[in-house]
Amino acid sequence: MEGTLRTRLGARTGRLRRIGVLGAAFLLASGLAIAVTQVAGAQPQPSIDQVRATINSLTGQFNKANQQYDQVLEQLGSANARLKQPARPRPGEVLGGKEAGGADRRLHL
């Protein structure tokens, strides 16, 4: 009978310990949530002029980035067009064994 009584007492203390730990965790989480909301609420709201200045700054940055993007697209288009054109030899350059002027530069034995 002693074994069963100890087991029952051990189970009760285990439950109480779990309830105590859960209660402490809940209180800690609640306190943390309250502290965070108070800190977040303590910050002053920006004025309308500050918001307008921020919007104007961001709009300027967007416009600049948009212009740069358009320039890069134009450069890409012209680069692609150049790549599609057949290669033309420059004066003095050898392509396919012949000089650009038409003279044959291959060795004939």
Question: Domain spans of the chain?
Answer: 1-41, 49-84
| Average pLDDT over the chain, rounded to an integer | 77
Provide the pLDDT for residue 4. Answer: 55
Residue pair 100/90 in contact by the 8 Å Cβ criterion = yes
Calculate the CA dihedral of residues 28, 33, 39, 42 and round it to 10 degrees.
Answer: -130
pLDDT at 11: 54
Which of 44, 4, 56 lies closest to 12, judged by CA? Answer: 4
Q: What is the mean pLDDT of residues 35-53?
A: 80
Q: Is the model's pLDDT at 72 over the cut of 80?
A: yes
What pTM did the predictor assign? 0.41
- Per-residue pLDDT, 87: 74
pLDDT band at 105 (very low <50, low <70, confident <90, very high): low
